[in-house]
Amino acid sequence: MEKRTIGRSGIQVSALGFGCWAIGGEWADTDGQPLGWGVVNDDESVRAIRRALDRGITFFDTADVYGTGHSEEILGRTLAGHRDEVVIATKWGNTFDPERRIKLDQDTSADYARRALTHSLRRLRTTHIDLYQLHLGDADAETGAALRDVCEGFVREGLIRAYAWSTDDPERAAVFAEGPNCAGVQHQLNVMEDAPEMLALCARENLASINRTPLAMGLLGGKYVAGQKARAGDIRSAPPAWLKYFDAEGRVTPEWAGRIDAVRQVLASGDRTLAQGALAWIWARSPHTIPIPGFRTVGQAEENALAMEHGPLTPAEFAEVEKLLNEG
Ligand SMILES: NC(=O)c1ccc[n+]([C@@H]2O[C@H](COP(=O)([O-])OP(=O)(O)OC[C@H]3O[C@@H](n4cnc5c(N)ncnc54)[C@H](OP(=O)(O)O)[C@@H]3O)[C@@H](O)[C@H]2O)c1
């Protein structure tokens, strides 16, 4: 499949990126709410990243807070020796304690942005970040404008190449887009949850639409059924208010499972798996999209990377999915 471009930056990446939240391992907030995806095996994470590289993946998305620095460390260690072949996106804005693996608070100051960037560069073993992203989706527009200007300064210093806001609000994304080196927005998009206003903004402003939660936090991987409970220690087992797919007890809700059942056959047609079909829907949705599915195993890395060989849904398949979801 052809490559995609990170908006105005012109930086070319594989059409699929790899989301590195889960490989951060376990961490929590100050109340003990799990914020990771449970225990992960670092050796497996390293093997999975290597498999991704072998399969042509050149784009990796992480955040300083994932595993309170651990995700960046694993990525930095594994990509050492490949730095010129890959494009790295990370995020800042949350404060955390790596000793206790706890997320503490948020910090929107310019000083903190510089300190956070310095630490990310060290953990990622690099001299620059390709795409630096504000991780506070609900920060106010005024704060966003100030941090956009801070990012422009980082570009001038050669510390970052481009920047983006991770937010689901097109108005906030538009504030960042006023900066010449803003190249994208990271937002939620999957076959069950479209984002037409954000995609229109990306088309108008030439921004990459970097798609988090493309597999609906695992549901579109196909192994969860209605009522199934997520593992203890996994964020899905005790979901915060914003996490929709699992109920308060960590069980897959029948509503979301039903929506997947409605489109399963079309997505998983041909030689595609359900996960590959879900990624194919995103590519068909807009030429600006770059899905970044998370992964925990070599098998998932392999299956997701191979989705690029199938490419986007055909227009007929895309229309069929729309029809089925509308009927549902
Ligand atoms: N605020 C933000 O900026 C923000 C928020 C969310 C995510 N993100 C970014 O977006 C990335 C992706 O989103 P996400 O991790 O929330 O959700 P996702 O990509 O929708 O789901 C990822 C999960 O699905 C399962 N999975 C992956 N590939 C699979 C396959 N082929 N078959 C079956 N199951 C599979 C794995 O979990 P199990 O095997 O445990 O089910 C994996 O951890 C993150 O890693 C992160 O980089 C950013």
Atom of ligand 1 lying closest to residue 135 CA: 3
Atom of ligand 1 lying closest to residue 166 CA: 3
Nearest CA to ligand 1 atom 48: 212
The predicted-structure confidence for 19-33, as pLDDT tens digits, reads as follows 999 999 999 999 999
216 lines ligand 1 (CB under 6 A): yes
The predicted-structure confidence for 39-75, as pLDDT tens digits, reads as follows 999 999 999 999 999 999 999 999 999 999 999 999 9
pLDDT greater than 90 at residue 328: no
CATH code for the domain defined by 4-327: 3.20.20.100
Distances in Å between the alpha carbon of 112 and those of 95, 124, 175, 223, 293? 9, 18, 20, 40, 29
What spacing in Å lies between the alpha carbon of 107 and ligand 1's midpoint?
25
CB proximity list for 201: less than 8 A, separation 6 or greater: 170, 173, 174, 177, 185, 207
Rounded distance, CA 187 to CA 185, Å?
Answer: 6
- Mean pLDDT over the full length of the chain: 96
Residue 21 φ/ψ, nearest 5 degrees? -70, -55
Query: How many of the other CB atoms lie within 10 Å of CB of 252?
Result: 23
Burial code (b: 16+ CB inside 10 Å, e: under 16) for 144-182 equals beebbebbbebbeeebbbbbbbbbbbbebbbbbbebebb
What spacing in Å lies between the alpha carbon of 139 and ligand 1's midpoint?
23
> For the residues 256-260, what does the mean pLDDT come to?
93
For a mutational test of ligand 1's pocket, the pick from 213, 236, 242, 302, i.e. the residue with the most ligand atoms closer than 8 A to its C-beta, is: 213
37 lines ligand 1 (CB under 6 A): yes
The predicted-structure confidence for 189-241, as pLDDT tens digits, reads as follows 999 999 999 999 999 999 999 999 999 999 999 988 899 999 889 999 999 98
Give the pLDDT band of residue 327 (cuts 50, 70, 90): confident
